[in-house]
Structure formats: C-alpha cells, structure tokens
Structure 1
Amino acid sequence: MTTTLGNVASLAARAGGSVVRQVKAVVDPAPARPAGTDHSASGWLVVTVVGEPSQIDTDRLPVPLAEFGDQLEVLVRAAPGDKGTELAARLRDRPSGSTLARLTGSDPQADLRSALRRAKQLIEVGEVLAVDPAPHGDRTPTPGGMLLEMWTRVAPKAGVR
C-alpha cells in the first residue's frame, strides 16, 4: 500500500513540476540572446537559408517579409558550422498569441512564421512551392468535422515548434 501511495505521490509531483515549468516559460520567457545582438530572443523566428549572408539584402526583403513593413525586425548572420545563413525575424510589437487567435487564423506570430518559410523558399528556389489542397467534398457538419476544418485552415501557419 505504501509503495502504491509513494508512486502516485511521485507521479503527481512530476506532473505538477511539468505544469509549473510550462506556465513559467509562458509568463517569463528565457532571456537568451541571439548571437551578435543585445535584443531578447523572445519572439525571434529563424530559418537557415542555403547561401551566403551577403545574398540577403535586409533593405530589399522578399515579398512575404516586406509586407510587414516597419513592424518587422530582421537579422542576417552566418549559420553555425558554415551551414548557410540564418535569417531571423520578429515583430516589433509582439502581441501575446492565444489559442483562440491561433484557431481563428488571426495570430500575427503565425503569419510571420509562414512568411519566413515562404521567404526562405523564394531565396533558395525562386518560387513558393504549394501543395494543392486535398479534395474532400462536403463533410457532415459535426463538431469533430468543424474542428478538423478549422485546424486545416491554420495548419500552414503553424510550422514545427
């Protein structure tokens, strides 16, 4: 009996610690800094582009990033280990994204993530590669079907985290 109680208590403590770490990460993001800057790393999104840093002109950004105008901060630097170039971008006024904003497709951070991936493709390939949506016909309007449709709409903005 004591062993079972001890196992349950240990499991509860680990779960509680995990929740506390996740909440702390959202409330107080780590103060890590990108190389060569004095800005907080919070909000920076980075892609590695094949090529030299001199190939990317921050005054003439690819269209997906240029559409953000003055709302955007951009850094270009050599990637570690001569693996290309890091293109980093963040919004100057970083709104706190909510789950509701992400579900409705109105999350500016997700828009930036998508624009950064499209800019990478333009720099490397010269065009944005797109997959035609899978034909699915009419779905029965069930709660699960509506949720699936909602996630399908915002999936291109989500990226890998």
Structure 2
Amino acid sequence: MRKLWWAVPVAVAGVTAVRRSRTGERGQDRWLTVTVNRPPMDVGSEGMLPPPLDGLAERIDVRIRPAPGDRGTELAVRFKEPVSAASASVPARLTGQDPRQELRRALRDAKSLLEAGEVLRPDAPPTTRPTPGGRLVEVFTRRSGGEGVL
C-alpha cells in the first residue's frame, strides 16, 4: 500500500490532461448561456439585441432559442474571434483586463433588464460595522471584476 503513494499525483495529472484535450484550443470562447423568463420574441432577434449586448454586437455571436420545457428563452453569446491566452490569464482577470468579464457582465445585465426592467445591484454596505469575514468578502468582490458576488 505504501508503495502506491505516487499513483495519486499521476492520476490527477492524467485527468487534467484529458480535460484540457477535451476543451481544445477554443475552450476560451465557449458559449455563455442564461435562461431568461421571457418569450423569445421579447428577448430579441438576430438584428435586435437587448442592451447592453447591443453595444457588443459586432464582436459577438448570439443564439436566441426557446428554453427546454417551454420555460422561457435561452440567450447564448460568445466572441466571434478567440480570446488570446494573455488576455485570459489569471493576472488579466485579477486586474479586470479579461475581455470575457465584460461579456459575462453584459449577459447578466441583459437578463436583469429583460426580467426586472432594471439592473439590480446589491445594497452597499451590507453591514454597519466591518468584520474580518466582511473584509474577506469585500476583497473577493473587488477582485471579481464586476462579474458578481461569491
């Protein structure tokens, strides 16, 4: 049993290699999809996109189709051109320079506008006095690049 200690890292490396090969080179530009609780004709068409996605129209591909089970509409977007590895790196994401963050934010805001009529934001500050846990959440929220909260 003690002689098999090396098997765990080898198995983890193998699983990681298989996952990377499945995503392929274009794994960076996969479709981002949300379900909107509206009929497809209210969400938009190929020529008309909901704001703020309309500002990205020349840079993105959009799919609008009925959601499974007649439960609204699937709104899917992705960049037409692949995102470079440098702009999708961890440092770029931490500094807010990853272009995928802009696309995620626009998709989330479009869903909110379609369903609620406005972009909903959390109240700030969430507590009246700072706590160690609150400071930790605040750090992660700032680092999220506007993509959402934990």
TM-score by length of 1: 0.71
Aligned to 1:68: 56
Moved over 6 A (4+): 135-138
Pair 1:91-2:79 in alignment: yes
Separation of aligned partners in 2, 1:115 and 1:159: 15
- Residue of structure 2 in register with 1:49 after alignment: 36
Checking the alignment, whether the CA contact within 8 Å between 2:29 and 2:82 is kept in structure 1 is: no
Change (3 A) 1:129 1:154: same
Structure 1 vs Structure 2 CA RMSD: 2.9
Amino acid at match of 1:115: A
Provide the rounded CA distance (Å) in 2 between the counterparts of 1:112 and 1:95. Answer: 12
Residue identity opposite 2:122 in structure 1:
V
Gaps of 5+ in 1: 31-40, 139-144
| Letter paired with 1:114 | R
Matched, 1:108 2:95: no
TM-score (norm 2): 0.76
Partner of 2:110: 119
- 2:13 aligned partner: 16
Of residues 128-137 and 50-59 in structure 1, the stretch that sits farther from structure 2 once superposed is 128-137
Q: Percent identity?
A: 36
Letter in 1 for 2:95: T
Contact 1:75-1:87 at 8 Å conserved across structures: yes
Q: Deviations over 1:105-155 (max 9, x none)?
A: 0111111011101000100110000013437999xxxxxx9xx74x43242
Structure 1, residues 68-124: CA drift from partner, whole Å, max 9, x if none? 131121110011121211001111123131111101101111110111010001001
- Count of residue pairs the alignment pairs up: 139
1:157 and 2:147 equivalent? yes
Any gaps of 5 or more consecutive residues in structure 2?
A: none
